[in-house]
Structure 1
């Protein structure tokens, strides 16, 4: 069963995280499916923009902890890396519609998006340090450039949750809307009507100053992340996390 739903609406490809019973926690199979669909869209002239959204009450709870604890693949060519490089290198506009919880990769992937809409109730978090891990997805480079070192350090070191209003003030998202998906689709359709080569070239120029540097950061983060997952510190944090989840149930 695929947990990624793909639908083309005019010139817009909509990719939906469709595992609501698990809060859209992302498995390695889901990462690879997303990467494949995004890479295919890059070379499809009929697709002018991609929107990533979700079913259920959460955008994503982040990585599926059980999936990654059993087989943490963080090498180049792994599903996670395939997804990260797909969104980093995607030449066309990438838009996200976010609601509920956006944990870990659910927040870091937004830094690779060109536009993001969010429901007023969205809660963002990057609890990597709290799990004995390090920042991933290029976020150690992109986030401080966006919000400054002090704010980035506060959020990374504490792992605290922040609101849609705070995300808007940071510049992480473009718009807060009660219907975040409709708002994202409106952005996508407006962009899809623009001259496509001009859009692609403008995005390339916007990213030109940091594109290769970010490639190196993503690789370095991946190495440290993989080492961290194998540490006693992370294993204890994982067990504590899973124990808390079981008590909640």
Structure 2
């Protein structure tokens, strides 16, 4: 990639992306957003990758849009909120795990909860600062956050701009686990490895079903499930990987 985004493959099947602007708390510059979009496109085209881990270098996950870049620009530049980054993560074929330490602020908060799962360090602090700065959201935060944490908490977080600490984020279901800061990388990779052990075809379809279903009503979600499973017939179609998994289950009694 380039200096602002580091890509590596720490374990088979896992693509790890590291936001690498620690001096700016990994604020989202236009260069960084462009690099992320390129990286996600590459992941979608490479069947080797089964899951993505997204993390930030230094003390924070991401401080949101680089407002310094915005205000210093000689001419108006595209709004980070309308960059399509959040939708690209949601539409990615494979799951994305955010490994969050320190601050995840506004656009950085949105970046984290656009991912499929969040593993939080004890130091994690999530905050939406639109109201505190007199701004309005442009990345869909007003619609996404209430669907994740409920209307009441979303209103409080957005109206007051108060931080959401890691333990409260765990209680609300926003994050899947909280670990000591020193264990964050290992915890995220362990979760990624668990996903890699399951069927990639099933996981890809489940991600689509969950994400698309969350944006529609219950009946529409059921119709989509029936469509994608062929009204149950998909489980009976020949599939070498599934047969291998089922045979192993028959022999060992374990999944």
- Correspondence list, 1:39-188, <5 A: 39-69=41-71, 70=73, 71-74=76-79, 81-178=83-180, 179-188=183-192
* Residue of structure 2 aligned with 1:207, choices 211, 218, 243: 211
1:77-133 Cα offsets, whole Å, 9 max, x none, are: x79513223112112111010001111121112222121111111111010121221
Q: CA deviation at 1:212?
A: 8.0
1:218-242 Cα offsets, whole Å, 9 max, x none, are: xxxxxxxxxxxxxxxxxxxxxxxxx
SS at match of 1:208: helix
CA distance in 2 between partners of 1:85 and 1:147 (Å)? 19
Q: CA deviation at 1:72?
A: 3.9
CA distance in 2 between partners of 1:80 and 1:51 (Å)? 23
- The question of whether the paired residues in 2 share the 8 Å contact of 1:49 and 1:94 is answered with yes
Larger radius of gyration: 2
- The question of whether the paired residues in 2 share the 8 Å contact of 1:2 and 1:30 is answered with no
Q: CA deviation at 1:165?
A: 0.7
Q: CA deviation at 1:180?
A: 1.5
Aligned counterpart, 1:216: none
TM value normalised by structure 1? 0.79
More contact order relative to length (CA 8 Å, sep ≥ 6): 1
CA RMSD of aligned residues (A): 1.9
Q: CA deviation at 1:177?
A: 0.7
Aligned counterpart, 1:226: none
Could you tell which deviates more after superposition, 133-142 or 117-126? 133-142
CA distance in 2 between partners of 1:46 and 1:80 (Å)? 30
- The question of whether the paired residues in 2 share the 8 Å contact of 1:117 and 1:181 is answered with no
CA distance in 2 between partners of 1:152 and 1:21 (Å)? 30
CA distance in 1 between partners of 2:216 and 2:37 (Å)? 19
CA distance in 2 between partners of 1:7 and 1:159 (Å)? 35
Residues 164, 136 of structure 1: alpha-carbon distance in 2 compared, 3 angstrom cutoff: farther
Aligned counterpart, 2:3: 2
CA distance in 2 between partners of 1:150 and 1:31 (Å)? 31
SS at match of 1:13: strand
User: Is 1:196 the counterpart of 2:227 in the alignment?
Assistant: no
- The question of whether the paired residues in 2 share the 8 Å contact of 1:125 and 1:160 is answered with yes
Q: CA deviation at 1:211?
A: 4.9
CA distance in 2 between partners of 1:111 and 1:29 (Å)? 21
- Equivalent pairs counted in the alignment come to 210
TM value normalised by structure 2? 0.77
